[in-house]
A = this chain, B = another copy of it.
Amino acid sequence: MTHTKKRIIESAIRIFNEDLSAPLQKVADNAAVTRRTLHRYFKDRNELVAVCKQAIESSCKKAMISAIQSSDDALIQLERMLYAGIDCGAKYSVFYKLHQSKDHKHTHQNKNCADYDHIYNQFQGIIIELQKEGKISPAMSPEWIQVLHSGIIESTVNARQTTTKSFEEIKELAWTSYIKAIAP
């Protein structure tokens, strides 16, 4: 994939994330190319959106899975999953929304959905494991923790734009807050 194509996709994700119906001109501007160039790489708007979704799916999935596989210790797995989500940035928000949204037909027939479910089954497994170990409060349901998880990631991504703190400092704050929030 060319550098330009990648840049267009990155821009499209940024733009569509906050305005799904934004004119393609905006995406082109953001990527510093002409609309004509954009159309050379993507047949039409639908194709661009589809490619964005696919890029989001695969990059988030990759990051999540590698976070899970990076350790046997559930607590470390959880921490790395948080960092992975933060590193994915806006992509993670979309990834999450994609499968939660009302008009999305979530089904195991769809490979993306199956992979998503697989990841979140593992996530829930980690939570339940940590609850057994007494490291997470049993009063917090795995569903709520999942919602909180993505909320903390969003906060962190937002904080990056407003605060003067370094990225590493914010990540640390995020993890500290998160683990304390769900502690017994």
Contacts and interface: CB of A to CB of B under 8 A. Distances in A.
Contact of A147 (B139, B158, B182): B158
Contacts of A23: 21
Interface string A112-141: 000000000000000000000000000111
A161 B100 contact: yes
A84 interface: no
A159 B147 CA distance: 6
A18 B20 contact: yes
A72 interface: no
> Assembly of this chain: how many copies?
2
Contacts of A143: 159, 162-163, 165
Interface string A142-184: 0110011011101110110111010000100100111011110
Contact of A19 (B20, B152, B173): B20
A76 interface: no
Contacts of A111: none
Nearest to A182: B177
A36 interface: no
Given A140-B177, A150-B155, A181-B181, 6 more contacts: A20-B21, A21-B22, A100-B162, A143-B163, A147-B159, A151-B155
Contacts of A18: 20
